[in-house]
A = this chain, B = another copy of it.
Amino acid sequence: MTPEAITAVPLTAEAFRPFGDVLEAAGTADMVINGGRCDRFHDRARLTFGSGRAGISIFRSEAVALPCRLDLMERHPIGSQAFLPMTDAPYLVVVAVDEGGRPGPLNAFLAASGQGVNYLAGTWHAPLLALVDGAAFAVVDRIGKGENLEEFALPHGVLIVSEAAENPA
């Protein structure tokens, strides 16, 4: 069976809000610090860690190529998870709200260089889909006991395509 195709659109904070936060230096800064040399966009992520604590880990991923076949979604029911690219590395973000314990309709976004995302606890999302091989991401998520990973196999898979260049790197 041919998988459904979903077109990735540029990531914006407004479109992403039901799923989480876009972390970027965009719009109006909340304060200016360091003698006027630095803009601070303050406290922009809805972080939750349940009974655990915050940790910072580094992910280094192989790249996927566009179009990209996706067979699995996952979520973290008791903690948020933020992905912060550490180099000029665009990546794909595929998310869905929960509908009775499984992902609702999928939404695909193309995150540009300089854009991080924070998934709310419980948001279904694809595993990390880097578009630059070996790209490193800082991940801020929950460290603690208890099962914080649910997976959902997509019955027929989906194909993520992009309106932008097939190789944005």
* A positions within 8 Å CB-CB of B: 23-25, 29, 33-35, 37-45, 47, 49, 53-62, 82, 84-88, 113-114, 116, 118, 127-128, 134, 136, 138-140, 143
Q: Is the interface of A mostly helix, strand, loop or mixed?
A: strand
Q: Once the chains are docked, how many angstroms separate the CA of A62 from the CA of B38?
A: 6
- Which chain B residue shows the least CB distance to A35? B127
Q: Once the chains are docked, how many angstroms separate the CA of A138 from the CA of B118?
A: 12
Of B33, B57, B61, B86, which one neighbours A34 at CB under 8 angstroms? B61
A133 to nearest B CB, angstroms?
Answer: 10
> Is there contact, CB below 8 Å, between B45 and A55?
yes
> Is there contact, CB below 8 Å, between A128 and B34?
yes
